[in-house]
Structure 1
Amino acid sequence: MKKNMGSADKIIRIILAIVVVALYYFNVIEGTFAYILLALAAIFVLTSLVSFCPLYAPFGLSTCKMKK
């Protein structure tokens, strides 16, 4: 897997995941909607850790800076 996520992309995804977890913790979101958002948050954290987003690959997208 070639890395296709830059630092800003990873930071934004982790911040969004933290916000979703906090909303769930404080009972702002609940039910099926909460579980869907928590699953999405987990995917955000996982893709941030491996620096690869499978949805970017088919479209040839990349947010990481290329080194020369």
Structure 2
Amino acid sequence: MKKNMGTADRIIRTILAALFAILYFTNVITGTVGIVLMVLAGVFLLTSLISFCPLYAPFGLRTCATET
């Protein structure tokens, strides 16, 4: 897999994942919406860690500046 996520994209996804987790664990968001947001938070965190977003690949999107 080639890296297709830049630093800003990774930081934004990590912040959103943390925000979703905080909202869920403080019971601000509960039920089905809470579970969906937690799954999304997990996906955001995973894609941030590996610097690759599978949804970007078919469309040829890249948010990183250098070719790796």
Show CA shifts across 1:1-60 (max 9, x none): 000000000000000000000001111000011000000000000000000000000000
- Cα displacement (A) at 1:66: 1.6
Q: Does 1:50 align with 2:50?
A: yes
The residue type paired with residue 19 of structure 1 is: L
In the alignment, what sits opposite 1:25? 25
> What is the total number of aligned residue pairs between the two structures?
67
TM-score, normalized by length of structure 2? 0.95
State the distance in 2 between where 1:66 and 1:23 align.
35
Q: Secondary structure at the residue paired with 1:66?
A: coil
Q: Work out the percentage of aligned pairs sharing the same amino acid.
A: 63
TM-align CA RMSD = 0.8
The residue type paired with residue 16 of structure 1 is: L
Structure 1, unmatched stretches of 5+, are: none
Q: Secondary structure at the residue paired with 1:18?
A: helix
* Structure 1 outlier segments of 4+, above 4 Å: none
